Every structure is written in structure tokens, then in C-alpha cells.
Amino acid sequence: MQVQAVVFDMDGVIFDTESLWKKAFNKANQKFSLSLTEDYRQSTCGKNEVLIRSELSSLYPDLDVPAYRNFMLDYVNTAIDSGDFAVKDGFLDVVSLLKSKGIKTVLATSSHKKRAQKLFRLKGLDINALFDNAVFAEDVGNRSNQIRIFLKRRWTVWVFYPKTPLC
């Protein structure tokens, strides 16, 4: 089977935003006198904000979850607004190689379109030039399972072998 398309996630794959979240997590742990582990932080990667807040509320009923999460979000957003994040090494080379071979590229992210466009713009990149298609949070609704993002656009660019059922 010949590869027809490659799907890229955004945070942590194209952009090194994970290091920002790690710093925010450690600072929030200090500020709120928590001892949440690195394993817990990693378990939140890819989850939406509603789910993370719900989990935290269950785990720490006395924690001011909105203040805790807003502290982290403010830290990360400030860093992003200042451009304090990097494009992952090799990403542009991989996209160039794929395009030269006629392989479609797709962006699938749980981020909203406006945020995604902002990150690409801050790094001088054009989503439309890099990707043949894109799927954003608003395209799939309030879901945390990334496979649903891929399923949403399966009919547009085959992400998986078309004869293999996914469900």
C-alpha cells in the first residue's frame, strides 16, 4: 500500500508547546502548593480543558481549579504571544519531502482554528501552503479522542487504508 497522506498533530509534534505546559505545570504546582506528578501532567496531554478541569475537581475538591488552570493558561498564552516556542526540528523538511512525492499533508488538532492560525503565523508559516486539509476542534465538537478528528475527514483524504474499518 502506498502512503497517500500523512496526518500531523500540532502541539508537541509541529510546535514545541509541551515544554511551555511543563513549565506552567511546575509553576502552578509551586504556587498552589500541589504535588501533582509528571505522570499526571503527561496524562492531560491532548485532553480538552473541560475534561482536565473535571478531573482536577474530582481529585482535589478543595483546589480552586479555575484559578489553577487559568494560571497555567495565562503562562502558556503569554509565552505563545511572545513567540517563545519553536517549530520542531525537521518538520519543514518532512513536509517538503512529502509534497515532492505527491503525498497529501493534513493538520489534525484539538486546538481551535484561530489558535492554530496564530501559532503558524507567529512562526511565519502558512497553514494553507503546508497542508492540503486541516481539522480543528470546532470541526468535531467537544471531544477529547483524537481518532475522531481523523474519522471526521476520512472521506476527504484517506488517512487509513480505505478497506479497513476503523470501528
Q: For residue range 88-127, what is the model confidence (pLDDT) as tens digits?
A: 999 999 999 999 999 999 898 878 899 999 999 999 999 9
The answer to whether residue 144 scores a pLDDT higher than 70 is no
Angle between helices 113-122 and 65-81 (to 10 degrees): 40
Q: How far apart are CA 122 and CA 163, in angstroms?
A: 40
What pairs with residue 105 in β-bridges? 6
Burial string for 128-148 (b: 16+ CB within 10 Å, else e) reads: eebbeebbbbeebeeeeebee
Residue 78: is its pLDDT beyond 90?
yes
State the DSSP code for 132: S
Of 74-78, 92-96, 139-143, give the lowest mean pLDDT range.
139-143
Mean pLDDT of 35-58: 88
Tell which phi-psi region holds residue 18, choosing left (phi > 0), alpha (psi between -120 and 50) or beta: alpha
State the DSSP code for 88. Answer: P
CA–CA separation, 167 vs 120, rounded Å? 33
Give the percent of the chain with pLDDT over 90.
Answer: 56
pLDDT bin (cut points 50, 70, 90) of residue 154 is: very low
**Per-residue confidence (pLDDT) for residue 125, from 0 to 100:** 97
Q: How far is CA 119 from the centre of its chain?
A: 11
What pTM was estimated for this model as a whole? 0.72
Which residues have CB under 8 Å from 131's CB, separation 6+?
8, 105, 106, 107
Query: What SS3 class is residue 104?
Result: strand
Q: What pLDDT, on a 0 to 100 scale, did the predictor assign at position 113?
A: 92
pLDDT band at 62 (very low <50, low <70, confident <90, very high): very high
The predicted pLDDT at position 9 comes to 87
Cβ proximity of 12 and 18 under 8 Å: yes
What's residue 136's pLDDT? 85
Average pLDDT value for residue range 39-64: 89
